[in-house]
Amino acid sequence: MFDTVLIANRGEIACRVIRTCRKLGIRSVAVFSEADANARHVRRADVAYPIGGSRPVESYLRGDVILEVAKRAGAQAIHPGYGFLSENATFARACRDAGVVFIGPKPESIEAMGSKAEAKALMEKHGVPLVPGYHGEDQNEKTLLAQAKKIGFPLMIKAAAGGGGKGMRIVRSEKEFADALASAQREASSSFGDARMILERYIEHPRHIEFQVFGDTHGNMIHLNERECSAQRRYQKILEETPSPFLDAQRRAAMGAAAVAAAKAVDYVGAGTVEFIVGANGDFHFMEMNTRLQVEHPVTEETLGLDLVEWQLRIAAGGPLPLTQDQVRANGHAIEVRLYAEDPEQNFLPGSGKIEKLAFPQSSRHVRIDAGVDQGDSVSIFYDPMIAKLIVWDEDRPRALARVREALAQCEVVGPKSNIAFLERLVRHPAIVDATIDTGYLDRHLDEFLAGDAPPSPAELFAAATVVLLDEERTVRETARASADPHSPWNIADAWRIGHPGKRLVVLMQGTHRYEIEAFGHPSDYSLRVTIPHPASGHLPPEAGEGKILRCRVQHARTENGCLFAHFDHEARRTYVAIDDHRVQVHVDDAARQVFTRAPAFAFESSGTEGGNQVIAPMPGRIVLIKAKAGDEVQRDQELLVMEAMKMELTLRAPRAGRIESVNAASGDFVEADAVLVKFLAGQ
């Protein structure tokens, strides 16, 4: 076994590899960019070295610098993680030439499978079923268009190199083809340094099922069962699980055999994943092979009781596979969801900035957290905005779904916006619960998973108000204990008055909606009431009754370990909650979270502006395309610019119809958040 291993990656996967190295007594060496100087993986490693600037091309993609660090640190092997250099055959060959073990497959295997086009040609040669398409060398736009017409629409444009949904577009008509091709090529070139494309017939309503394969240097090859990854948005996986609820034993065996055959065709060594598109009737087609560990590998680990990173290390050191195919035994059901710094309500705009608060459920046999950041860290604009992976396990799928719902309720991110509430709605949706989801379902029905303007229920308002009251009383008690006279009656916070019950006002905000809950009583025992606004205001459900006053008696209220315990109108209820000086969050009746802003009791007026005369940068990024110029007459929602930020392209559109006064950026410019990129002539 190795004494020292360098991890040529960052974030969650670097922390994951470091954890196994520490378990095996292996010294771990991290590398970091300027942006990651104090990152979690740097703090977890035994030693860490700087490798360059913040952009990946200045640091994590510099194979020569990483190899030099490996030599300096005395590392016998390099673990590439996933992404960056993990599927770079040139880097794998450079490691071999330098006498450093690349913890992954041979360069020749990466070359054979790393290009989707070459992999399809190889699978076609070995009789593996393929989706009809084009994966030729001629990348001329006219050739690609001719091939697209031959395949027929709808079709899929995919980057020949890389993965992760980058450089992928669905094209449903010939008139969309040129723009979609150009956009996919730009994204592929930026992400992988390779703009080559392949074309495939788009299979409507497919499922995405992949098989984990492992090979060793002794000629052994097995699979470790499947993972279903059909819950996707724009080709990005959101929820992964094993076993697949779609497969029966016969189909699982056939697909597993095909996956092993695909790996044997390239004499594969180490961990890899063979991915299939599966039709509604169970027909399966080879899609691609990822010659690395996958983001979703923990669900396989949880059902098999294995450490796949340990397998990688032992096989790279020359050891045999620890199990034969007949010895692979699965137990129970595992589900993984990915927590991202992004705003689902704003088209999943990636977020960045300092994480002020980060809360996760306690790790156990049923719950696992693989995090890339800690509270107080920042989500960088230069990399993927994943915060952590939440993995749950239980004896069967219904119980695993219940586990993930409960675990998500205990997660909280304060700082950049997150997708936690979106995930909570996802794991309650019938398409997930009934296992009928396909890879395009989320894109077709996205509004079903977004909160939109859905108002809170009276029960949610009463629960939130109770948490605020308890928090106010706790704060007063702590202040009183620190004062010169801790027993003074002036330190009591229950609004008591002589001759009549005192009243406190709890004000909660959601966007521009203001909710005023009147509270009477004393600590832990309250009478609450709220006046229901006009239903047209959208504040509360119409069935609550226009102008009606709703009341609730709250007794025995207390908070403990992130939960509110209270009797609401004599019904005892346990509710997950979170509160700080600015926000309060509640889960009522197993529903997704409701988050309110705490506001002062006095009224206010908003001074917001329309912002219709300008287009601003939603986050820091690089301008890649300008589609308008000063003097142009444009229509509302017309595309004006395309910018690249956090490994994705963002299209910026006109906020209204009118004439452009100025365009304040050029292609290639790096712009800061809130920079004014386009100005409109006032009144035109």
**Over 90: is that where the pLDDT of 478 sits?**
no
The answer to which of 125-139, 281-295, 564-578 has the lowest mean pLDDT is: 125-139
Element (H, E) at 254: helix 249-264
How high is the pLDDT of residue 609? 33
Identify whether 116 is part of a domain: no
Would you give the DSSP letter of residue 491?
A: G
Dihedral sign, Cα of residue 98, residue 104, residue 108, residue 110:
negative
The answer to which of 121-130, 457-466, 567-576 has the lowest mean pLDDT is: 121-130
Task: Give the confidence band of 297 by pLDDT, cuts at 50, 70, 90.
Answer: very high
The domain boundary residue, chosen from 156, 184, 201? 201
Say how many domains are in the chain. Answer: 4
Q: For 85-94, what is the mean pLDDT?
A: 96
Identify whether 9 is part of a domain: yes
**Residue 387: CB partners within 8 Å, gap ≥ 6?**
339, 340, 341, 355, 358, 371, 372, 373, 379, 413, 418
> Are residues 82 and 154 both part of a single domain?
no
How high is the pLDDT of residue 135? 85
Selected residue with higher pLDDT from 117 and 323: 323
- Residue 250: Cβ within 10 Å count: 9
The answer to which of 42-56, 165-179, 239-253, 364-378 has the lowest mean pLDDT is: 165-179
Identify whether 652 is part of a domain: yes
Let me know: does 223 contact 326? Beta carbons within 8 Å: no
Task: Give the confidence band of 461 by pLDDT, cuts at 50, 70, 90.
Answer: very high
> Are residues 656 and 590 both part of a single domain?
no
Identify whether 89 is part of a domain: yes
> Are residues 26 and 147 both part of a single domain?
no
The domain boundary residue, chosen from 103, 118, 140? 103
How high is the pLDDT of residue 124? 83
Let me know: does 119 contact 198? Beta carbons within 8 Å: no
Selected residue with higher pLDDT from 165 and 370: 370
Query: Looking up tokens 């029966």, which residue turns up?
Result: 248
> Are residues 572 and 673 both part of a single domain?
no
> Are residues 154 and 193 both part of a single domain?
yes
Question: Has 292 been annotated as catalytic?
Answer: yes
How high is the pLDDT of residue 607? 34
CA distance 624 to 187: 10
Identify whether 179 is part of a domain: yes
Task: Give the confidence band of 622 by pLDDT, cuts at 50, 70, 90.
Answer: confident
How high is the pLDDT of residue 420? 96
How high is the pLDDT of residue 222? 98
Dihedral in degrees, nearest 10, Cα atoms 360, 363, 366, 368? 70
* AA letter at 546: E
Query: Cis bond leading into 350, ω under 30°?
Result: no
How high is the pLDDT of residue 605? 39
> Are residues 582 and 540 both part of a single domain?
yes
CA distance 506 to 306: 51
- Residue 457: Cβ within 10 Å count: 16
Q: What is the DSSP string of 115-175?
A: BHHHHHHHHHHTT--B-SEE--S---HHHHHHHHHHH-SSEEEEESB--TTTTEEEE-SHH
Over its C-alpha atoms, the chain yields an Rg (Å, rounded) of 28
**Over 70: is that where the pLDDT of 602 sits?**
no
Identify whether 365 is part of a domain: no
**Over 70: is that where the pLDDT of 426 sits?**
yes
Identify whether 452 is part of a domain: no
Task: Give which of 394, 392, 452, 444 is closest to 422, Cα–Cα.
Answer: 452
Identify whether 667 is part of a domain: yes
**Over 60: is that where the pLDDT of 173 sits?**
yes
**Residue 248: CB partners within 8 Å, gap ≥ 6?**
none
How high is the pLDDT of residue 126? 78
> Are residues 574 and 620 both part of a single domain?
no
In percent, the amount of the chain with pLDDT more than 70 equals: 92
Q: For 42-61, what is the mean pLDDT?
A: 97
**Over 60: is that where the pLDDT of 429 sits?**
yes
CATH number at residue 656: 2.40.50.100
How high is the pLDDT of residue 617? 87
Task: Give the confidence band of 494 by pLDDT, cuts at 50, 70, 90.
Answer: low
Let me know: does 301 contact 307? Beta carbons within 8 Å: yes
Annotated catalytic residue within 16, 169, 207, 292: 292
Range of the domain at 659: 614-680
Q: For 183-212, what is the mean pLDDT?
A: 91
How high is the pLDDT of residue 537? 44
The answer to which of 169-173, 300-304, 378-382, 617-621 has the lowest mean pLDDT is: 617-621
**Over 90: is that where the pLDDT of 585 sits?**
yes
How high is the pLDDT of residue 41? 98
> Are residues 158 and 53 both part of a single domain?
no
**Over 80: is that where the pLDDT of 453 sits?**
no
* AA letter at 345: E
Q: For 547-563, what is the mean pLDDT?
A: 90
**Over 90: is that where the pLDDT of 315 sits?**
yes
How high is the pLDDT of residue 600? 78
**Over 60: is that where the pLDDT of 89 sits?**
yes
CATH number at residue 184: 3.30.1490.20
**Over 60: is that where the pLDDT of 336 sits?**
yes
**Over 90: is that where the pLDDT of 107 sits?**
yes
The domain boundary residue, chosen from 564, 599, 634? 599
> Are residues 593 and 621 both part of a single domain?
no
Element (H, E) at 466: helix 458-481
Selected residue with higher pLDDT from 220 and 133: 220
> Are residues 472 and 577 both part of a single domain?
yes
* pLDDT tens digits, 6-24: 999 999 999 999 999 999 9
Task: Give which of 169, 255, 175, 178 is closest to 212, Cα–Cα.
Answer: 255
pTM exceeding the 0.85 threshold for the entire prediction = no
How high is the pLDDT of residue 603? 46
Q: For 393-402, what is the mean pLDDT?
A: 98
State the distance between the two ends of the chain, measured CA to CA, in whole angstroms: 71
How high is the pLDDT of residue 203? 85
The three-class DSSP label of residue 461 is: helix
Cα 103 to Cα 5, 65, 182, 273, 389: the distances in Å are: 9, 18, 35, 15, 23
**Over 90: is that where the pLDDT of 501 sits?**
no
Q: For 301-319, what is the mean pLDDT?
A: 98
> Are residues 569 and 505 both part of a single domain?
yes
> Are residues 586 and 475 both part of a single domain?
yes
